[in-house]
């Protein structure tokens, strides 16, 4: 991952904003998990393409999702 990345968790899902090093042109990815409140979204310090997101569930509790491709695909962590 080159450039700048902002990970934003909101009441309407998660969003990933990326820009080049000069921050002149931005792109927006999302909403990931549309309709779910995302309390935490964090990039891995070891692998820049790995992202973790935390979803609340009143039935199951917190659900942690993981992406290994910068947010293109997600899978729950058991």
**What would the pLDDT profile of 19-78 be if each residue is shown by its tens digit?**
988 888 999 999 999 988 998 999 999 998 999 999 887 887 888 999 999 999 999 997
**pTM of the model as a whole:** 0.84
Model pLDDT, residue 71: 92
More confident residue, 6 or 3: 6
Evaluate if residue 1 carries a pLDDT over 60: no
Q: Which residues of 29-68 are buried (b: 16+ CB within 10 A; e: fewer)?
A: ebbbbeebebeebebeeeeeebbbbbbeeeeeeeeebebe
């Amino acid at each position: 991952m080159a450039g700048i990345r902002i990970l934003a968790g909101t009441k309407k899902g998660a969003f990933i904003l990326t820009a080049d090093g000069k921050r002149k042109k931005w792109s927006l990815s999302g909403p990931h998990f549309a309709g779910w409140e995302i309390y935490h979204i964090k990039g891995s310090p070891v692998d820049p393409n790995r992202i973790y997101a935390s979803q609340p569930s009143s039935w199951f509790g917190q659900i942690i999702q993981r992406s290994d491709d910068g947010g293109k695909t997600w899978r729950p962590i058991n």
